[in-house]
Amino acid sequence: MALTTKDIALLAGVSQSTVSRSLNNSPLISQKTRERILKIAREQEFEFNANARGLSTNRADTIGIIYPDDYLEFGVNLYFGSLHTHLRQTLEKRDIDLIVAFSKNRWTGADNVKRLVVRRKVDGLILVRSLVDPETLEFLRRTGIPFVFLHFHQDSPNTEGIDQVYADHVKGGFLGTDHLIRLGHQKIVCISVDEAEEFAQRRRGYRTALEKHGIPYDETLMLYGDRSFQSGYRIVKQHCDLISKATALFAHTDVMALGALDALREMNLRVPEDIALVGYDDIELTTFFHPHLTTVHQPREEIAVLACERLLELAGSKRIKRGKEIKIQPSLVVRESCGARA
Amino acid sequence: MALTTKDIALLAGVSQSTVSRSLNNSPLISQKTRERILKIAREQEFEFNANARGLSTNRADTIGIIYPDDYLEFGVNLYFGSLHTHLRQTLEKRDIDLIVAFSKNRWTGADNVKRLVVRRKVDGLILVRSLVDPETLEFLRRTGIPFVFLHFHQDSPNTEGIDQVYADHVKGGFLGTDHLIRLGHQKIVCISVDEAEEFAQRRRGYRTALEKHGIPYDETLMLYGDRSFQSGYRIVKQHCDLISKATALFAHTDVMALGALDALREMNLRVPEDIALVGYDDIELTTFFHPHLTTVHQPREEIAVLACERLLELAGSKRIKRGKEIKIQPSLVVRESCGARA
DNA sequence: ATGATAGATGCAACCGCATGCATGGAGATG
DNA sequence: CATCTCCATGCATGCGGTTGCATCTATCAT
């Protein structure tokens, strides 16, 4: 059915190896022959059989991306969806395919990781916000497959020597808080998330900003949601007393901020006049709402591109020293909800 | 590095073919041997080398999905994102991997289609809302690779014999319009999209509903956006005279409906009191806004599951007759924006 | 007891490509 | 003109599976 190098060889009157070498730009082949064969291959719309190629080279020209299960939830994927888009575009440019998988076990991703790697379906892995258990980590190291952790910084003894591309969430938490304080706010309620490390880092940034301005940290102002729009809404409703006494609200995801906005509106609290609001992520959705959300921008395109580049660099040569950590700086996008414009 | 069947054979003291047969449940192997080998393979965490396997079986245990380029746009992917999620889940259950690609050429997808197929990286393709040019279609037919068109019905001479899973957009257009008419509306402005077939079908449904109730079709009430939130907003603003004289608005995507909602709010038109609003798609986002959007629900999970099942059915046996068309019925979800509750 | 039979297993070829090594021919050198 | 290089190409093997066919060993009927 599909053409093989042998077929091309027959058409060109050369051997199969010559075809293979020509198409792979081997320096052994003379310019003339190469061009002739390239021409024929193009005419015949020849494509290598990826399986055969992979079998002999032990490559797949494909990388895998492992998302945590909750990527599937609406709201969460408002953030990751755009990250994914950028990853995909970057890879497409390089003629590399992308296999998408989810870790059934939210924290390990062990299942799909092993499967994809051992079956040689991928040359490398991008692990998105996956806390990998020591066993899987050991497995990855043993196989020597390149992998890059994406999205937040993991800093434990056994993540030593691991490549990471991550946004500086401490900085982001600081930026949002510092901005509010500079606008005169002293009592800033936080809506954070309890379960994932990146939020702990954002909280750390929040505290750092308070300290800088000599504002004591008040634990009662720290509330916890689950990332969802609904939880943002619910928390504001549940703590309406607390919140009506506060002058600012810093939600650690935009989606929760939008939920909070909804609740504030129902409570007849005007944003930003009665209470200022700052979100985190800068998802595209923010400008669909009023007032437009001031938020901490995560440079998703940059994160995606750098992660791909690093992964391909690792995949390209075994000599490269592992363990590069690329930290991306978030920035504050001032829109309407913080009141800075007024 | 990774174990091969030969290694397992050595461990079990049998030949490599016996291992292969055991692991593939060949009836040739005795129960006892099979179990012994399965046990060893499990213990060793053996996995087949996908390339070698693919090379001899000509399978990939992977399917490809081709999205149109505009999937990448925010707003569009609010709809497709959820479709994708369901597809992914369905495939995961069957241990089939998914390669994601986009068609650079919005209407054909020729590039990635050919590449993935000829390289044998996929066993089948799901083509999402891709109008395929005759050449690519001919290519697909020639290779015999299974493929399923997803999302909207294509009914031209050369789509004869093609498998399709699609929602009945005519019905959806009818449902939204009919509902508004029953609520007493006579002058219903539509915000549709010009470029894609599915929207023409929705418009057809709109007209059918008008006819049913003996309302003459008024072309000036038909406006065109580009799917985006911004276009929904813009169109309402541009046609504020027209719209303030109308009593209802039927936007052919939820995202445009939400943009329109934003504009209506700015024009101080209350929804649904001053003007009723109905959307289309039933994306998760609709309940983030007020009033909650009445909309035409597209059963994306059902669409995704049926498409996968059909594709796997086709991939499973070459005997199956091609050309099954599975039509999914949309339904109306009545919320607040149409005023039916009041 | 013996040949027939069927079930279980092994052997070997093949899938399409990459690549080390052998080979052949053209040009350089003496 | 013979010999030596070196460059271009071909040959043959291996990657790790699948599978047709041969082989072997019980089991059974005669």
Q: What would the mean pLDDT of A267-284 be, rounded to a whole number?
A: 95
Smallest Cβ–Cβ distance between A119 and the set B49, B85, B88 belongs to B49
Position B195 scores a pLDDT of 79
Q: What would the mean pLDDT of A241-257 be, rounded to a whole number?
A: 96
Does residue A54 sit within a domain?
no
Does residue B115 sit within a domain?
yes
Q: Which residue type occupies B141?
A: R
Co-location of A309 and A294 in the same domain: no
Position B55 scores a pLDDT of 93
Rounded to the nearest 10 degrees, the angle between the axes of helix B254-266 and helix B229-238 is 40
Contact present, A238 and A225 (Cβ < 8 Å): no
CB atoms within 10 A of CB A196: 20
**Cα separation of B7 and B47, whole Å?**
12
Co-location of B91 and B161 in the same domain: yes
Per-residue flag: B8 CB under 7 A of strand C: no
Percentage with pLDDT > 90 across chain A: 59
**Cα separation of A293 and B303, whole Å?**
35
Q: Choose the mutation target among B5, B46, B97, B123 for the interface with A, i.e. most A CBs under 10 Å.
A: B97
Does residue B335 sit within a domain?
no
Interface of B with A in 87-146 (CB under 8 A): 88-89, 92, 97-102, 114-116, 118-121, 143-144
Percentage with pLDDT > 70 across chain B: 95
Question: Confidence class of residue A125 from pLDDT cuts 50, 70 and 90?
Answer: very high
Residue B105 has pLDDT above 90, yes or no: no
Contact residues on chain A for B143, CB-CB shorter than 8 A = 1-2
Contact residues on chain B for A288, CB-CB shorter than 8 A = 229, 258-259, 262
- The answer to which of A201-215, A278-292, B56-70, B177-191 has the lowest mean pLDDT is B56-70
Co-location of A227 and A158 in the same domain: no
Residues 6+ apart with CB under 8 A from B105: B69, B111
Tell me which of B8 and A159 has the higher pLDDT. Answer: B8
Per-residue flag: A58 CB under 7 A of strand C: no
Co-location of A102 and A219 in the same domain: no
Averaged confidence pLDDT in chain A: 89
Per the structure, the complete domain to which residue B135 belongs is given by: 62-167+301-328
For the stretch B133-180, pLDDT in tens is 777 888 888 888 999 998 777 777 677 888 999 999 999 999 999 999
Q: Which CATH number goes with the domain that contains A275?
A: 3.40.50.2300
Co-location of B72 and B149 in the same domain: yes
Q: What would the mean pLDDT of A186-213 be, rounded to a whole number?
A: 94
Domain total in chain A: 3
Does residue A249 sit within a domain?
yes
Position A190 scores a pLDDT of 97
Position A108 scores a pLDDT of 36
For the stretch A53-107, pLDDT in tens is 999 999 898 999 888 777 767 777 788 777 888 888 888 888 788 888 876 654 3
Q: What would the mean pLDDT of A13-38 be, rounded to a whole number?
A: 91
Co-location of A188 and A218 in the same domain: yes
Position A8 scores a pLDDT of 93
Q: Which CATH number goes with the domain that contains A42?
A: 1.10.260
CA-nearest of A204, A200, A239, A202 to A221 is A239
Position B104 scores a pLDDT of 60
Backbone phi, psi, residue A295, to 5°: -160, 165
Question: Confidence class of residue A167 from pLDDT cuts 50, 70 and 90?
Answer: very high
Position B199 scores a pLDDT of 93
Co-location of A20 and A121 in the same domain: no
For the stretch B261-274, pLDDT in tens is 999 999 999 999 99
Residues 6+ apart with CB under 8 A from A91: A63, A97, A98, A308
Does residue B251 sit within a domain?
yes
Co-location of A224 and A260 in the same domain: yes
Does residue B19 sit within a domain?
yes
Co-location of A163 and A305 in the same domain: yes
Co-location of A85 and A115 in the same domain: yes
Co-location of A183 and A257 in the same domain: yes
Co-location of A158 and A187 in the same domain: no
CB atoms within 10 A of CB B170: 20
Does residue B182 sit within a domain?
yes
Does residue A334 sit within a domain?
no
Residue B109 has pLDDT above 60, yes or no: no
Position A342 scores a pLDDT of 60
Position A153 scores a pLDDT of 75
